[in-house]
Amino acid sequence: MNRRLIRSRIMLAAALFAGSAMPIHPAETRAGESLTEPSPRSNFLGLEEAIRIGLSQHPLIQQTRYTSVAAKAVTKQTRGELYPWLEASVAESNGSLRITTSDGQIVHGRGGIGFLPGAALPHHNQNMLTGGLILNQLITDFGYTAQRILANEANEAASEKEILTNKAVIILTIQKAYLTCLLQQSLVEIAGETVKRRNTLRDQVQALYKHQLKSKVDLDLILVEVSNAKLAFIRAQNDLTQAFATLNNAMGVEGSDRYELAKIPIMIAPTPDLPHLVEVGLADRPELLGNRDRLVASEELLKAAKALNLGSLSAVGTIGVTKYWDVHDEGIHDNQVAPLWGAGATMKFPLFTGFRIQNQIKEAGHHQGETQHELENLSNEVVLQIVRAYLTQTTNAEQIPLEREQVSFAREALSLAQERYKQGLSPIVEVVRATTALFEAESRLAEAQYIYKISEAAVAYATGQDYKRF
């Protein structure tokens, strides 16, 4: 009789377990009501679209563009020192002072000065007012200005490379943020599926408990696990919201708090040899290209500093009129207006400058050495970035097949644990452990897949390739 009772209870438990074994639709699940809320199509955002938005609106790009324009203006300013300087000037003097003009080197070095009271005499001479045009021309400074122009052009090229550098950084940041959003969406889906599995198991245990086929301990344990699954789902949703905020920040916009993202296929591609990647990175990274331009600029500034030892040759020409009154010299009458013109040249050669030029040369030489070592250090950093990105990519490429096997094993273990529990051969703990193991295995697989895609983007950034596509 006891055997018949036990057998009948087992059959009843199996019927109840099987009857509630169908997966619960999210709309029918209290904890899963928000698991499948579709994002509006108007919020659809593809990866390339996100990158283009970031490149057009991110303030870092705008900042470096202004820096580049400023560098171009500096180059034009320096180049202007080679052109004639024409200005109008008026000066008045009384007593012992006369009106003089400034030479071309002073004008080009400090800006226009024009007519100046000067050349004082030991006695009262005349009162005068002079106005006219002055033309100054730097004939040569033996390469000082020319070398500075070349240095500014190199700095201008470096500022353009800075735009490319920030462009590459923004592309990588957006790619990471976008893929992280996809990862968090996958984790939300996995957590939601776990909630549904545990809700299904809870309903089964409740039915068995009502028929006194399972103990209250089993029901209490599964209720705790359902609560844990709901908490994990809430945390995953919160992480997804933060991921979308990070994506908006990466694009440099105040966008929606949720997007419909395009799914990106996870395909393991063969990775080029590491030496080839290093060679490509050292040749194409915009940071290195910009630092090479800065090295050229430092070399030209060193040449310019050495050219200071050679002096300069400048010329000046003037034409105008002078109004005289209260004249104390012969040949000029009071209230007379007389035209004037003149031309001259100035040759300057430094003999002793208090070691100023020598120290300027030393300073320029030290800056050149500093730039050279900065370039070497940056090259080492680039190589390290390439190696790290390459190893991360290859490691995750090897990890993905293993994680897929783990997911397959975990699903099989869960199915077996559920069958054993249905037949009364194992406690509820085994089913809970199997559900947890499947959740963890699916989460690790999703992380490995998207970290692999992120490492692909990191390799493209480290080798200086992705920014060329946009």
Kindly report, residue by residue over 397-453, the tens digit of the pLDDT: 999 999 999 999 999 998 998 888 877 787 888 888 898 999 999 999 999 999 999
Q: What value, to the nearest 5°, has the Cα angle with vertex 192 and ends 191 and 193?
A: 90
What is the set of domains in the chain, with CATH numbers?
Answer: 47-76+147-301+358-469 (1.20.1600.10), 83-140+312-348 (no CATH)
- What is d(CA 468, CA 460) in angstroms, rounded to the nearest whole number? 10
User: Of the candidates 286, 78, 68, 65, which has an alpha carbon nearest to the alpha carbon of residue 156?
Assistant: 68
Question: What's residue 12's pLDDT?
Answer: 43
Q: What tokens appear for 269 in the block? A: 């591609």
- What mean pLDDT is predicted for residues 336-358? 89
For 262, phi and psi rounded to 5 degrees? -80, 135
Q: What average pLDDT does range 200-207 have in this prediction?
A: 84
pLDDT in tens, 28-68: 333 344 444 444 445 899 999 999 999 999 999 999 999 99
| Residue 445 backbone dihedrals phi, psi, to 5 degrees | -65, -45
* Reported confidence tier of residue 98, pLDDT bands at 50, 70, 90: low
Q: Which residues of 315-337 are buried (b: 16+ CB within 10 A; e: fewer)?
A: bbbbebebebeebeeeeeeeeee
Distance of CA 405 to the CA centre of its chain: 38
For residue 249, give both structure tokens. Answer: 């920040």
Distance CA 261, CA 240 (A): 12
348/7 Cα distance (integer angstroms): 117
